[in-house]
């Protein structure tokens, strides 16, 4: 697939997806949704990709669904199928990808864009970033996994408040509520994200991927099931070259060199 609404680059183990419709704050058209979902699929298939970064071009991360497209298609536009065939592929593509995904939140994320930010594993934000659950401003309900993700992260009272007020949550508040891992001055965002991405891409990739799987699965498991599943995954991790390398490096008092195998 050729990409016209996103940029996709793979360098030194890091895939970067840049949402690239800056005139509309990178609002998602049907084409941009398909391209983003496709790029995430490529990230899963390509063994050379060991970390994924998602960011936005210009001053926004993404304003969510392009409302001009929705209006332009009139009654023919059916939201349920649009969500199922589109945004759900993106959210499941991020959460189901057994590689670390970093959201580099350069500016405002609204609507479905907040779901994409929260689906990522590590969220590094510019101090200019903000989150807006814009849905209720246009008479809709949160989608893109937000009813599942947000109450788990900040509790239902705060999540419901954000949904019904549609107020902007600033970067510092999002950091204080645990939605962002770090907030940095805007001019330092690229360097800080790069440092994170390089660190993740040169780490023990199978360990990172299985950890993501274990934590995601644990939401729907009993403690007994989670303990059992951890033991199963640990058997797998213990058979990797990176586990042997990590132990050897520790005993030899040197830095490990992980290959992701
Ligand atoms: C936009 C958009 C936009 C088009 C800014 N569309 N142009 C799924 C399935 C189907 C249907 C519905 O929804 C969903 C899921 C969703 O995502 S629903 C939520 C959709 N998003 C919104 O409702 C957010 C609408 N945007 C805003 O509230 C503001 O633009 C935010 C708070 C994001 C940013 O505000 P400002 O920083 O003040 O920027 P701005 O409003 O001036 O926007 C800049 C430009 O971007 C502007 O165009 P212009 O030609 O005047 O410069 C906006 O029209 C355009 N834009 N969001 N979603």
pLDDT at 183: 98
Q: Is 111 in the pocket of ligand 1 (CB under 6 A)?
A: yes
- Distance between Cα 237 and ligand 1 center (Å): 44
176 Cβ neighbours under 8 A, 6+ residues apart = none
> Of all atoms in ligand 1, which is nearest to the CA of residue 137?
23
One domain, residues 106 and 217? no
Active-site residue, 143 included = yes
Q: Is residue 256 part of a domain?
A: no
Please compute the mean of the pLDDT values over residues 138-146 and round it to a whole number. Answer: 98
How many domains is the chain built from?
2
One domain, residues 53 and 128? yes
One domain, residues 21 and 117? yes
One domain, residues 12 and 83? yes
Residue 184, helix vs strand vs coil = strand
- Distance between Cα 256 and ligand 1 center (Å): 46
pLDDT at 202: 98
One domain, residues 86 and 155? yes
Q: Is 94 in the pocket of ligand 1 (CB under 6 A)?
A: no
One domain, residues 173 and 216? no
pLDDT-derived band of residue 77, with 50, 70 and 90 as boundaries? confident
One domain, residues 125 and 192? yes
| Model pLDDT for residues 198-238, shown as the tens digit of each residue | 999 999 999 999 999 999 999 999 999 999 999 999 999 99
| Model pLDDT for residues 89-111, shown as the tens digit of each residue | 999 999 999 999 999 999 999 99
- The domain containing residue 217 runs over which residues? 205-251
One domain, residues 103 and 232? no
pLDDT at 192: 98
Checking if the pLDDT of 76 tops 90, the result is no
Q: Is 149 in the pocket of ligand 1 (CB under 6 A)?
A: no
One domain, residues 141 and 48? yes
Are 242 and 208 in contact by the 8 Å Cβ rule? The answer is: no
- How confident is the prediction for the chain on average, in pLDDT? 98
Locate 23 and state its tokens. Answer: 């005139």
One domain, residues 139 and 242? no
| Model pLDDT for residues 146-187, shown as the tens digit of each residue | 999 999 999 999 999 999 999 999 999 999 999 999 999 999
pLDDT-derived band of residue 239, with 50, 70 and 90 as boundaries? very high
One domain, residues 124 and 246? no
Is the sign of the CA dihedral 103, 198, 256, 241 positive or negative?
positive
- Distance between Cα 72 and ligand 1 center (Å): 15
CATH number (domain holding residue 97) = 3.90.226.10
Q: Who wins on pLDDT, 75 or 66?
A: 66
């Amino acid at each position: 697939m050729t990409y016209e609404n996103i940029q996709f680059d793979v360098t030194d183990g890091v895939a970067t997806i840049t949402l690239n419709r800056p005139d509309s704050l990178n609002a998602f058209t049907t084409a941009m949704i398909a391209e983003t979902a496709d790029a995430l699929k490529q990230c899963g298939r390509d063994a050379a990709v060991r970390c994924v970064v998602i960011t936005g071009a210009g001053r926004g991360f993404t304003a969510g669904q392009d409302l001009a497209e929705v209006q332009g298609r009139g009654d023919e536009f059916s939201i349920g199928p649009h969500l199922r065939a589109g945004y759900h592929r993106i959210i499941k593509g991020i959460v189901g990808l057994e590689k670390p995904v970093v959201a580099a939140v350069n500016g405002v994320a609204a609507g479905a864009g907040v779901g994409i930010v929260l689906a990522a594993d590590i969220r590094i934000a510019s101090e200019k970033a903000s989150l807006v659950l814009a849905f209720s401003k246009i008479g809709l309900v949160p989608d893109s996994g937000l009813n599942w993700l947000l109450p788990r992260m900040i509790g239902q009272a705060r999540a419901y408040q954000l949904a019904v007020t549609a107020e902007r949550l600033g970067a510092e508040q999002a950091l204080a509520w645990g939605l962002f891992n770090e907030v940095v001055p805007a001019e330092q965002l690229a360097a800080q994200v790069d440092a994170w991405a390089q660190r993740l891409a040169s780490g023990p990739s199978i360990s990172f991927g299985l950890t993501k799987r274990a934590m995601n699965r644990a939401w729907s498991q009993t403690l007994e099931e989670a303990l059992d599943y951890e033991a199963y995954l640990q058997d797998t991790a213990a058979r990797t070259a990176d586990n042997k390398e990590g132990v050897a490096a520790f005993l030899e008092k040197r830095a490990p060199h992980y290959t992701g195998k």
